Structure 1
Amino acid sequence: MNNNSNIKVSSLGKTWIFDIDGTIVKHNGYKIDGEDSLLEGAREFIDKIPENDMIIFITSRTEDMKDETEKFLKINRIKFDYIIYNAPFGERILINDRKPSGLRTSIALNTERDVFLSTNFEIDENL
């Protein structure tokens, strides 16, 4: 699926899972520039996620980056429910079942590094 598409989703509550580096912040910006920097559009997108949805960040950053990472997210008003640290550098694989109605309950998108997602999610009441 490309980075500039429209995706129809149900009106049910959702779980959003984001990588951190290269997805919502500049990849390794904290190492290269001495601090993280949000990618253009990241805050605006996350702000549009309904309060009742869950936001999980997953990162290869180690636990010793926890305080610095969470402080940055809070200062920049990036809401989240959980952060999983120490994830392997390889693929992230999401496996979920399909509802009896046919609703596909998993969506996976790959974005260009350091370019925030430009996909639009549209609620379809028929799903």
Structure 2
Amino acid sequence: MEQIILSKLGHTWILDLDGTIVKHNGYKDDGHDTFLPGALEFLRNISDEDMIVFITSRKLEYQNLTESFLQENGVRYDHIIFEAPYGERILLNDDKPSGLKMGKAVNLQRDSFPQMDIVVDEEL
């Protein structure tokens, strides 16, 4: 099980959609999206104080379909970035002077949402 240790500060979640949260290309192959097992529960457990940003390579023509799917399933989010390049996604962030590591990244196997243990460490 993947364990992610976070501070008690507010967080920004930057999440891919296809193959990470929903079945890869399900919206094309099946005509609709399907959450990967455990992904919807994970999203619903993100604190309301946190920001959620989805990033996807989907074309803008799928914006209404994507947003409707998320709304129908009660998924809260702040932004969706469409038409992202197909290549790597790179996060650069500075660490706090206290030493708190401000950038985290988790690479997942496509179409397999892992069990994750999110721990808030009150000491951070």
TM-score, normalised with respect to structure 2: 0.97
The answer to whether the aligner puts 1:112 opposite 2:109 as a matched pair is yes
- CA RMSD for the aligned pairs? 0.8
| Runs of at least 4 residues off by over 2 Å | none
**Matched residue type, 2:80:** I
Secondary structure, in 3 states, of the residue corresponding to 1:122? strand
**Which residue, out of 37, 41, 52, partners 1:40?**
37
Q: Which runs of 5+ in 1 are unaligned?
A: none
Query: Percent sequence identity over matched residues?
Result: 53
1:34-58: CA deviations, max 9, x gaps? 1111111111111111101000000
**Matched residue type, 1:73:** L
Whether the aligned pair in 1 keeps the contact of 2:2 and 2:114 (CA below 8 Å) is no
Q: Which runs of 5+ in 2 are unaligned?
A: none
Q: In the aligned structure 2, how far is the partner of 1:42 from the partner of 1:116?
A: 6
The answer to whether the aligner puts 1:79 opposite 2:76 as a matched pair is yes
The answer to whether the aligner puts 1:63 opposite 2:60 as a matched pair is yes
Whether the aligned pair in 1 keeps the contact of 2:58 and 2:84 (CA below 8 Å) is yes
The answer to whether the aligner puts 1:90 opposite 2:82 as a matched pair is no
Paired residue total: 124
TM-score, normalised with respect to structure 1: 0.94
